[in-house]
Amino acid sequence: MALQCCYGGSTIQTLKLASIPSTAPLSSSAICSPFKTLTITPSAHLIKALSSPAAVVDSTTTHVVKPQWKAAIDFKSIVENKSAVAENLKNRNSTASLELVIELYERLLQLQKEVEDLRFERNTVANKMKGKVEPLERQRLIEEGKNLKEKLVTLEEDLIKLTDALQREAQCIPNMTHPDAPIGGEDSSTIRKTVGTPRDFTFSIKDHVQIGKELDLFDFDAAAEVSGSKFYYLKNEAVLLEMGLINWTLSEVMKRGFIPLTTPEIARSLVVEKCGFQPRGDNTQVYSIEGSDQCLIGTAEIPVGGIHMDSILADSSLPIKYVAFSHCFRTEAGAAGAATRGLYRVHQFSKVEMFILCRPEESNAYHEELIGIEEELFSKLGLHFKTLDMATEDLGAPAYRKYDIEAWMPGLGRYGEISSASNCTDYQSRRLGIRYRPESSTSPPTNTKKSKGRNLSPPEFVHTLNATACAVPRMLVCLLENYQQEDGSVVIPEPLRPFMGGIELITPKSN
Neighbours of 440 (CB within 10 A): 12
Complete DSSP assignment for 330-366: ---TT--SGGGTTTTS-SEEEEEEEEEEE-GGGHHHH
Could you tell me how many helices (H) and strands (E) the chain has, helices first?
Answer: 13, 21
Residue 74 in contact with residue 3, Cβ under 8 Å? yes
Which is it for the CA torsion 396, 387, 362, 260, positive or negative? positive
Q: Alpha-carbon distance 424 to 463, whole Å?
A: 7
Please work out, in degrees rounded to the nearest 5, the angle formed at the alpha carbon of residue 185 by the alpha carbons of 340 and 395. 80
* Amino acid letter, 205: I
Residues 6 or more apart whose CB falls under 8 angstroms from that of 154 comprise 36, 37
Residues 6 or more apart whose CB falls under 8 angstroms from that of 17 comprise 289, 290
Distances (CA, A) of 171 to 29, 89, 225: 19, 13, 41
Q: From the annotation, which residues make up the binding site?
A: 299, 330-332, 346-349, 353, 417-420, 466
Which is it for the CA torsion 280, 401, 418, 495, positive or negative? negative
Residues 6 or more apart whose CB falls under 8 angstroms from that of 26 comprise 12, 56, 58, 63, 65
Residue 503 in contact with residue 241, Cβ under 8 Å? no
Q: From the annotation, which residues make up the binding site for ATP?
A: 330-332, 346-349, 417-420
Residue 282 in contact with residue 334, Cβ under 8 Å? no
Residue (of 193, 217, 197) closest to 477 by Cα position:
217
Q: From the annotation, which residues make up the binding site for L-serine?
A: 299, 330, 353, 466
Q: In the 3-class helix/strand/coil scheme, how is 301-332 assigned residue by residue? A: HHHHHHCCCCEEEEHHHCCEEEEEEEEEECCC
| Count of CA atoms in the C-beta half-sphere (13 A) of 255 | 8
For 393, the 3-state DSSP assignment is helix
Give the H or E element holding residue 98: helix 98-128
With 0-12 / 13-18 / 19 or more C-beta atoms within 10 angstroms meaning exposed / middle / buried, residue 494 is exposed
Q: Alpha-carbon distance 255 to 502, whole Å?
A: 22
